Chains A and B, each alone.
Chain A
Amino acid sequence: MNIHEYQAKDILKSYGVAIQEGILANSPEEAVQAAKDLQAQTGTEWWVIKAQVHAGGRGKGGGIKLAKTLDEVREKAGNIIGMNLVTKQTGEQGKHVHMVLVSQDVYYPGPSATAEFYMSVLLDRSSGRNIIVYSPEGGMDIEEVAEKSPEKIFKEEIHPGVGLQGFQARKIAFNLGLSGAAFKEMVKFVQALYAAYLGADASMFEINPVFKTSDDKIVAVDAKVNLDDNALFRHPKLAALRDEREEDPTEVEAGQYNLNYVKLDGNVGCMVNGAGLAMATMDIIKLSGGEPANFLDVGGTADAARVEQAFRIILKDSNVKAILVNIFGGIVRCDRVAQGVVDAYKNMGNIHVPIIVRLQGTNAKEAKTLIDESGLKVYSVIQLEEAAQKVAEVLA
């Protein structure tokens, strides 16, 4: 699950990670009040107004602005709140900005040079262990650093039995070129960060940049946090951080029916049992000359009510020109699924796109007969190859 920067920073702070402080605001007036309060708390003279959306690249898209006066805070917050922010991660359609984080300016002048670092915590799938990835090249796209100067990216693997050790935190601070007070601050920062990662059952932390201030403090200026969906059951407070406004409304609705649905941009909808077969069905659609309009795993049950919910979800997308239902009946009998399709179809009245139903497995022949004799505009096939041909036919 994705969360906002301000929520991520709240989590970090609760574990003792030093952050760039900020106060959330839903309107320009709230932003001005937040700026005043923040000045009183931190002494900041300028403010950074940051759009809160689930997407990276906000700065380049115009979603992060510096404000030097309270009037500028009002003006810039007003420009950002309500804007449609387009970044390389939002796609062309962009994201509506509902709120901003009014943040302290940490780039103030002082006795020592400032520096920006990169740090993330994530699972290394090949070793089955968590790793801390870090680089002295912070503040920029890490993929770019990986491409241009891979020697500047370091990895530290954490042993699951003993956890992050002091020598590892020190190694990280040394590799980032720190000494003195900043070195000590970084050691504390890394240890607190890893504790937060474990405590929140996160699946990814990305802090870019980790900033060394001119007075040798180490703070998280940005924070991208993904939480492990499978672990949310034991973190009800974190589960409550979900912001459905950031998600596709159809995906939210599908989730309420326990349908695993991901909206895509194509013209052929699909309904499949099993995630792997669903991806394979999307591939078949592409090979047949179409583009998949969605991923949809209906799971182990495919009765009339469920099939109808799935049809309704798929048909919300006006790009859909045909639907391919692909069910491999094992424990679930194909004739039951076929009856579900027929009932759902009749119940919904006029479905204006052709439906191709491929049912294979237990009672596949009975299922085909049932659909063929229903008199509905539903094509029934048994082999996957036939399904591919039929999709190509209806698109032609």
Chain B
Amino acid sequence: MSVLVTKDSKIIVQGFTGNEGTFHASQMIDYGTQVAGGVTPGKGGTSHLDRPVFNTVADAVAKTGADVSIIFVPPAFAADAIMEAADAGVKVIVCITEGIPTSDMIQVKAYLSEKSCRLIGPNCPGVITAEEAKVGIMPGFVFKKGNIGIVSKSGTLTYEAADQVVKAGMGITTAIGIGGDPIIGTTTREAVELLMNDPDTHGIIMIGEIGGGMEAEAAHWIKEHGTKPVVGFIAGQTAPAGRRMGHAGAIVGGAEDTAAAKMAIMEACGIHVVHSPARIGAKMAEVLQPVTNQ
């Protein structure tokens, strides 16, 4: 078991024939992911990376039976691409694109509320189920198979955490990069809930950053419903208020946006919070030990 994507998932790539789409689709195929084809409007009927290209997502779904889509479409057209995938009945939509206008995402969120699909991202590294399927841009070799799930707003910090987990003698079930934008499809709480319900996941790493209230929401949920140890870290303890730290959503607006405030709530809710990002793997090994020894 694992969540969101497995070795049986059939994936289509939106923005398949562009530079980004081509490069990362090749990497996904090399990883062993079932890439069934791609969508580039106007190039339907051709072939790319030995796979069929379709004009519309609906065509691609009808011909390949795809249930997952990954989006590499430029920011101006990405909202449209997400809604097209949802309309075509794709169940899991992973949007990598960075820089989508917030007003577009407000529309997307409202549109998706009437559909039965799950959006991951945008502005995220994607989702990887270790040694089964990589639907994203992460370096696959870092994610060795194991029993730890990761939920993270950040790309390279996810790789860092996965690497520490592996070096500490454990491995990964699924790592979910939820993205660093103000509006994202799957919240920290929802991603944690997916992993909490996955029998193969024995421990969860939750990595957040300054800005917004998603970590606090997840922490309160964990306090009520948590059944597995959770290790948490919030990036940006030294970030000044009012300045955007790279990610569009990473900005301290009010007192509850700070790393210190979030960490305090997480600790109060029973999450094992580390203050140093170098301690994520070691802390997980420490808190997981008693469980596996029983």
Q: A residues within 8 Å of B by Cβ?
A: 89, 123, 125-126, 128-130, 159-161, 198, 201, 203, 228-231, 233-234, 260, 262, 264, 266, 272-287, 291-292, 295, 297, 328-331, 360-362, 383-385, 387-388
Contact = CB atoms under 8 A, between A and B. Distances in A.
Interface string B240-275: 101111111110000000010000000000000001
Nearest to B152: A276
A279 B236 contact: yes
A126 to B, nearest CB: 6
Given A287-B276, A331-B27, A388-B276, A279 B239 contact: yes
A123 B154 contact: no
A260 B246 CA distance: 6
Contacts of A272: 156
A280 B103 contact: no
Contacts of A161: 110
Contacts of A262: 243-245
A283 B209 CA distance: 11
Contacts of A276: 152-158, 180, 207, 209, 235, 246-247, 250
Contacts of A280: 154, 157, 160, 233, 235, 277
Contact of A125 (B157, B207, B213): B213
Contact of B139 (A126, A278, A330): A330
B99 interface: yes
Interface residues of B, number: 63
Contacts of B212: 125-126
Contact of A283 (B104, B237, B244): B237
Contact of A277 (B139, B154, B238): B154
Contacts of B156: 272-274, 276-277, 328, 330
B226 interface: no
A285 B212 CA distance: 24
Contact of A284 (B102, B180, B183, B276): B276
Interface of B: 27, 75-76, 99-107, 109-110, 137-139, 141-142, 152-160, 163-164, 180, 182-183, 207, 209-214, 217, 233, 235-240, 242-250, 259, 275-279
28 contacts: A123-B183, A125-B182, A125-B211, A126-B217, A130-B106, A201-B101, A201-B103, A203-B102, A230-B99, A262-B244, A274-B156, A275-B246, A275-B247, A276-B155, A276-B250, A277-B156, A277-B277, A278-B245, A279-B154, A279-B245, A279-B250, A283-B275, A283-B276, A284-B277, A286-B238, A328-B160, A331-B27, A384-B278
Given A123-B102, A385-B278, 12 more contacts: A126-B212, A126-B213, A160-B110, A201-B101, A264-B240, A274-B155, A276-B155, A276-B246, A277-B277, A280-B157, A286-B238, A384-B164
A183 to B, nearest CB: 29
B163 A361 contact: yes
B106 A128 contact: yes
A61 B22 CA distance: 55
A274 B154 CA distance: 7
Contacts of B155: 274, 276-277
B111 to A, nearest CB: 9
Nearest to A386: B278
B103 A198 contact: yes
A283 B107 contact: no
B25 to A, nearest CB: 13
Nearest to B24: A331
A128 B210 CA distance: 18
